[in-house]
Amino acid sequence: MRSERSENSRRIHIPVLQKEVLEYLNPKANQNFVDCTIGWGGHAIAIIEKILPKGKLLGIDWDEELIRCLKSKKKKSKIKNNLILVCDNFVNLKEITQREKLKSVEGILFDLGMSSWHLQESGRGFSFLRKEPLDMRYNLQNPLTAEKIVNYWSKSEIEKILREYGEEPFAGKIAEEIIKKRKIKPFKDTFQLIEILKMAIPFKYRHQRLHFATKTFQALRIAVNDELENLKKVLPQAIEILKPGGKLLIISFHSLEDRIVKNFFRNQASEDNQRFKVLTKKPVRASEEEIKINPRSRSAKLRAILKI
């Protein structure tokens, strides 16, 4: 039953900004690319179709189950010789490309959004709409979970991540209520956390367009997976790996990621550095047509930079 649900999830996954990704990368026959967040492979397959017959795409994902499913699919595919799959954290990008002997990289893509599978099928507590364990790990070898954070971290540490990673205005009150509650009963699942948020967040703020749990769940997920620090560490590796004329594309879904990418691109393309050119003066957003088909694309921002 699990595999059937996962297959259904794969079928409904829609790659965000796929048309724009292909336009900026402009993949051609026999070129090599890296998809650092391959997920279900939507972007990757579209790229591979353009780089046949001898082009290679290195697909990286930290989630073992996603890589396992892709490997199973790859065995029956005509593109099996063009796709290299690696389960690893993209923070190790340079090491991975060296290990896989991938050279002359024309383009690198990061899609930093969660896949629909993680929200709907993983059972790891990414969604506040389901009663699931407070896990939130992309990779189950990671020793840190959201449950450990809310049960063992100090009030100041919890408040800090809620404020910095979730930009949550009620971070202090939420942290205070978490400390009170865990003394009575340890946190185990998402709905226990939701009840605390209802107590900590004023009523009028619980009935707005953005769900009142969004910022807290985002903050915990970022902290568990060290997402922002990993992004900062991988960006210099990505531009180093690119060949001259190569492009780096990044799709982000919240302001914290986008700010890191924007500032990094700006620094690389400064007047003192003539080796890079920003291709997107403003982030590329999804069209109204795409948003109607795929509502999650509404918050997506695509930025691109060229290595001269």
CATH number at residue 205: 1.10.150.170
Is 192 in the same domain as 261?
no
Domain boundary among 225, 257, 281: 225
Do both 155 and 240 map to the same domain?
A: no
CA distances from 103 to 8, 82, 242, 283 (A): 35, 14, 9, 29
Looking at residues 66-84, what average pLDDT do you find?
93
DSSP state of 92: G
- Residue from 81, 66, 84 nearest 13 by CA: 66
Amino acid type, 127: S
214 and 160 share a domain? yes
The residue segments making up the domain with residue 178 are: 127-225
User: Looking at the domain assignment, is residue 40 inside a domain?
Assistant: yes
Predicted TM-score (pTM) of this structure: 0.93
CB-CB contact of 304 with 279 (8 Å): yes
Neighbours of 87 (CB within 10 A): 18
Does residue 20 sit within a domain?
Answer: yes
For Cα atoms 87, 91, 93, give the angle at the middle one, nearest 5 degrees.
70
> Do 100 and 246 fall within a single domain?
yes
pLDDT at 253 over 80: yes
Q: What's the whole-number average pLDDT of the chain? A: 94
Regarding whether 145 and 109 lie in a shared domain, the answer is no
Which residue, among 286, 282, 285, 278, has the nearest Cα to 304 in the 3D structure?
278
The pLDDT tens digits for 172-215 are: 999 999 999 999 999 999 999 999 999 999 999 998 888 999 99
Q: Are 11 and 22 members of one domain? A: yes
Same domain, 9 and 108: yes
The pLDDT, as a whole number, for residue 173 is: 98
For residues 213 and 245, state if they share a domain.
Answer: no
CA atoms within 13 A on the CB side of 49: 7
Q: Which of 166, 196, 225 is the last residue of a domain?
A: 225
DSSP 8-state code for residue 88: S
**Does 103 share its domain with 251?**
yes
Q: Are residues 160 and 241 in the same domain?
A: no
pLDDT at site 166? 97
Judgement on whether residues 13 and 83 belong to the same structural domain of the protein: yes
Does the residue 133 lie in any domain? Answer: yes
- The answer to whether residue 122 sits within a structural domain is no
What pLDDT digit, counting tens, does each position of 76-114 carry? 899 999 999 999 999 999 999 999 999 999 999 999 998
Quote the CA–CA distance of 118 and 9 in Å, as a whole number: 9
Query: Nearest Cα to 14, choosing from 302, 304, 301, 297?
Result: 297
pLDDT digits (tens, 9 = 90+) for 3-20: 333 444 444 467 999 999
Taking residues 127-142, report their average pLDDT: 97
Of the candidate ranges 37-41, 185-189, 193-197, 273-277, the one whose mean pLDDT is the lowest: 273-277
In a domain, 66, yes or no: yes
Percentage of the chain beyond pLDDT 70 is 96
Last residue of a domain, one of 225, 247, 264: 225
Indicate if 231 and 92 belong to the same structural domain.
Answer: yes
- In this structure, are strands 276-278 and 301-307 parallel, antiparallel, or unpaired? antiparallel
- The answer for residues whose C-beta is within 8 angstroms of residue 24's C-beta and 6 or more apart is 247, 249, 279, 280, 284, 302, 304
What domain count does the chain have?
Answer: 2
254 falls within a domain: yes
Residue 292 included in any domain: yes
56 within some domain = yes
